[in-house]
Amino acid sequence: MIGFAIACDMSVIYISSTDEDLKEYREEVAKSLSDFGYAVESMDKYPARDSRPRSACEEDVSKCDIYVGLFAYMYGSCPTEDNPDKKSFTELEYLAAEKKPRFVFLMADDFPWPSTKRDAETKKDTGKRIRALRETLKKELWVASFRTPDHLAKQVLISIGQYEKKRPVQNVDAIEKLKDAPDLGPSYLGNIQEQIEKSRSVEFVAIRLGPTPWWNTRLHLVAALAADFTKIRAFVILDTAGQVLVVASPDAIRLALTKADHRLEIAYQQSRAQARGVPQNMQLDSITMNYPGQVMSAFGNKVERDVKQVLDAPELLKLGIKDEGEVLQQLPGERTALLKGTTPYIVLAREGKVEGIIDREELASRMAKAGIH
């Protein structure tokens, strides 16, 4: 067992692997990380590392922010003290990093690997423990496979870049209130401007079509306010089960709704016009409060509740909103595939839950600096 600690700005990345079989691979990963600007501290400096106690190995992991595990076909040596289950250093390090971001890389199943470096041919258990560990890793995490040292180094860099570029998809209370309120007044909404300003740093927002349904009038208002007054880059629209339907910018959603019924944009623009004389710190509140009256004016003296269209999943998709997101329920084993898609965004989802979103161009730009395309 061996490891590296890599200082990444304020983060430290710990790389764990068995020793003799993956030495060349570790060195290539360390070189690539150093070339990319990371500071690399080799844990080889500890003499007779495999004879260190379990507590020392877990202490190494506790000092890191991110764990990276490399696994081929050797289970590795085990601490002799305080280790009743006789787990290897590498498995113990993996378990010790349970509450940290963990990235795992497995030697590809079909890659030709010397029999001298396979427990199946060299150990009494005929490789049972390393096979079980590999299967556990596949079930618990999004693993990537590797072949050559260079290939592994690229996979590690892309995975770290993906992690650093992943952004949360958040709920915004003010948007939920605009959806749920039967009337757009202070008694239901409070200070919308203040609530939205509290979410000023939010870039990606989840919008769920249920259980309370969205009206086309309210979604247009939200999209227009987001486009004109916030830094929201994209809405991730989910169906009632939480599955991603479409990823699109506020402008794209606003345009699609306007094409379907131009009176929505007329109502919004008239609401903005009425708010022009209002102090800047009250404009969003003014637009929101004026909106129902302007909807009534634009739709021939009919109130919003009588003219709205309920947007379920089929009705939303009929709008023809251009989908800007590729949903990945599982990351590809070949991480370079992340750089080659055509959509601006990658939505990471697991077991029906959105885990985050990546700007593909940002990730590709970062990887281009490392010579990865």
In terms of C-beta density within 10 A (0-12 exposed, 13-18 middle, 19 or more buried), how is residue 165 classed? buried
Instruction: Note the pLDDT tens digit of each residue in 302-320.
Output: 999 999 999 999 999 999 9
pTM of the predicted model as reported, rounded to 2 decimal places: 0.85
Say if residues 249 and 231 touch (Cβ distance below 8 Å).
Answer: no
What's the pLDDT score for residue 106? 97
Q: CA-based angle 263:269:273, to the nearest 5? A: 140
| Residue 48 binned pLDDT confidence (cut-offs 50, 70, 90) | low
- The answer to whether residue 185 scores a pLDDT higher than 60 is yes
Domains within the chain, CATH numbers bracketed: 2-165 (3.40.50.10140), 173-323 (no CATH)
Query: Which token pair is 186?
Result: 């202070």
What's the pLDDT score for residue 280? 87
Percent of the chain with pLDDT over 90: 64
What's the pLDDT score for residue 11? 72
Backbone angles phi, psi at 296, to 5 degrees: -60, -40
| Residue 281 binned pLDDT confidence (cut-offs 50, 70, 90) | confident
Instruction: Note the pLDDT tens digit of each residue in 118-145.
Output: 998 888 899 999 999 999 999 999 899 9
Element (H, E) at 54: helix 54-62
What's the pLDDT score for residue 175? 93
What's the pLDDT score for residue 51? 63
Percent of the chain with pLDDT over 70: 94
The DSSP string of 192-221 is HHHHHHHTTT--EEEEE--SSPEEHHHHHH
What's the pLDDT score for residue 227? 96
Average pLDDT across the chain, whole number: 89
| Residue 46 binned pLDDT confidence (cut-offs 50, 70, 90) | low
| Residue 44 binned pLDDT confidence (cut-offs 50, 70, 90) | low
- The answer to whether residue 47 scores a pLDDT higher than 80 is no
What's the pLDDT score for residue 64? 85
What's the pLDDT score for residue 94? 95
Residue in 75, 138, 128, 150 with CA at minimum distance from that of residue 106: 138
What's the pLDDT score for residue 49? 58
Question: CB atoms < 10 A from the CB of 6, how many?
Answer: 26
Instruction: Note the pLDDT tens digit of each residue in 65-121.
Output: 889 899 999 999 888 888 899 999 899 999 999 999 999 999 999 999 999 999 988
In terms of C-beta density within 10 A (0-12 exposed, 13-18 middle, 19 or more buried), how is residue 266 classed? middle
What's the pLDDT score for residue 6? 57
| Residue 168 binned pLDDT confidence (cut-offs 50, 70, 90) | very high
| Residue 32 binned pLDDT confidence (cut-offs 50, 70, 90) | confident
Q: What CA–CA distance (Å, rounded) separates 19 from 41?
A: 16
Instruction: Note the pLDDT tens digit of each residue in 5-27.
Output: 655 555 788 888 898 899 899 88
How far is residue 290 from each of residues 112, 189, 194, 275, 281, measured CA to CA in Å? 70, 13, 17, 8, 16
Judged by average pLDDT, the poorest of 183-192, 306-315, 346-355 is 183-192
> 112 versus 187: which is more confidently predicted?
112
Q: DSSP state, 339? A: G
